[in-house]
Amino acid sequence: MAYDVIKLDKQDRIAVLTLNRPEKLNALSHDLLEEFVDALDDVQADQDISVLVLTGTGRAFSSGFDISPNLEHEEEAATAHWDSTHYNPRAIMKLWHMRQPTISAVNGFALAAGNVLAMTADIVIASEDAVFGEPEIRHVAHSPAILLPYMIPFRHLHWLYFTGDTIDAKTAEKWNMVNMVVPADKLMAEA
């Protein structure tokens, strides 16, 4: 299957699903989430794949929802936002229930819904330049943090949600949000 805003590469029993909107810091659009769900279905059905690695192209894993779609009318923008919020929980739950183990290889920013997506994997490996957080809270938005309470300690979750602050990779490792931190040039090899 051909994709426009993600890449799916399969080799040696490993599938690598790459969010591929670097010009938008891999913001989660309707199209990206739809392709993401389709790719997860493809990987899930492939008996030759033993593990799925998620990553992002460029400076970010994902900056969260694309809140500034290039649409001409407010109604289209509202519909696109609703579609994204509809697809994101679906994508997260599908990732959560994957047959294969999943690894997030987090490069750069993992913010808002992008943070939730990264945390949903079974294992999270971060590059030294990774940044995690829920900054949308400062703008009275909310993140679809369906599963975060199961993934990170409550005190740390509360810090992220009450302050909107971001944290670096080493702090995320101390908070047990990531399994390990590696140099950026070793991220994919480690994953």
Domain that holds residue 142: 6-190
State if pTM tops 0.75: yes
Span 21-64, pLDDT tens digits: 999 999 998 899 999 999 999 999 999 999 999 999 999 999 99
Q: How many domains does the chain have?
A: 1
pLDDT bucket at 81, cuts 50 / 70 / 90: very low
Here the CATH number for the domain that contains residue 177 is 3.90.226.10
Q: Which long-range contacts (C-beta less than 8 Å, at least 24 apart) are formed by 16-19?
A: 16/52, 16/53, 16/55, 16/188, 17/43, 17/52, 17/53, 17/54, 17/55, 18/54, 18/55, 18/56, 18/57, 19/54, 19/55, 19/56, 19/57, 19/61, 19/62
Q: Give the residue-averaged pLDDT of 69-84.
A: 49
Span 110-154, pLDDT tens digits: 998 899 999 999 999 999 999 999 887 777 655 555 667 777 888
Residue 180: inside a domain: yes
Residue 1: inside a domain: no
